[in-house]
Homo-oligomer: A and B are copies of this chain.
């Protein structure tokens, strides 16, 4: 019975089932591990069709990690879900300001989401290279504004907010932004789905590729 597989066999068997059931697809060798892990963490094959990954998304992320740049997230769940051992090999600083007391205070005063102010705070630090958004559409809208109006230039955006109010629209806006900034690298999807679990899975798939190019030192 399947539960008697060893832990490392469970993941391999999961990937085999995903590939068997999905059949042929057009994702390339850098992209497919991200899509496969998004499906793996959600058991939702929609991601095979709905994800959008720019050509140099994985390469941009690996450059950012090797340059020692930090990773910003919009939820602590993403931080919990990312593989710390792999992140630590690059010494990547992890930040999430959504629970920061100053952010909470200002958000209340201004009547905006904490996610907006958390993104603004993170973007002030030029050492932040990768922005991972798995929950709040307002965080992604704010990051888009910071890129357009304040010259913020992430090396990679993982833009996978979820929900019924603004999530799909924020991801549409991200893809539209790419028309203006063709060098922009991102991993996103079309539609309402997403989440911290999927965002963390995408980052873990990137980290596995990053570690492959950079042996532990």
Contacts and interface: CB of A to CB of B under 8 A. Distances in A.
Contact of A196 (B14, B17, B77, B169): B77
Contact of A166 (B3, B113, B194): B3
A187 interface: no
Contact of A164 (B43, B114, B191): B43
Contacts of A197: 77, 195-197
A131 B10 CA distance: 23
A12 to B, nearest CB: 9
Interface string A78-94: 01110000000000000
B77 A43 contact: no
A190 B77 CA distance: 24
Contact of A192 (B5, B43, B165, B193): B43
A200 B196 CA distance: 11
A50 to B, nearest CB: 11
A102 B6 CA distance: 18
B77 A200 contact: yes
Given A3-B138, A138-B3, A165-B13, A195 B41 contact: yes
Contacts of A2: 165-166, 169
A17 B165 contact: yes
Nearest to A140: B3
A132 to B, nearest CB: 14
A193 B6 CA distance: 22
A107 interface: yes
27 contacts: A3-B137, A3-B141, A3-B169, A6-B112, A7-B112, A7-B113, A7-B114, A10-B166, A13-B165, A14-B165, A18-B164, A40-B163, A40-B164, A41-B195, A42-B42, A43-B163, A43-B192, A44-B44, A44-B193, A75-B80, A77-B80, A77-B81, A77-B196, A77-B197, A77-B200, A80-B80, A195-B197
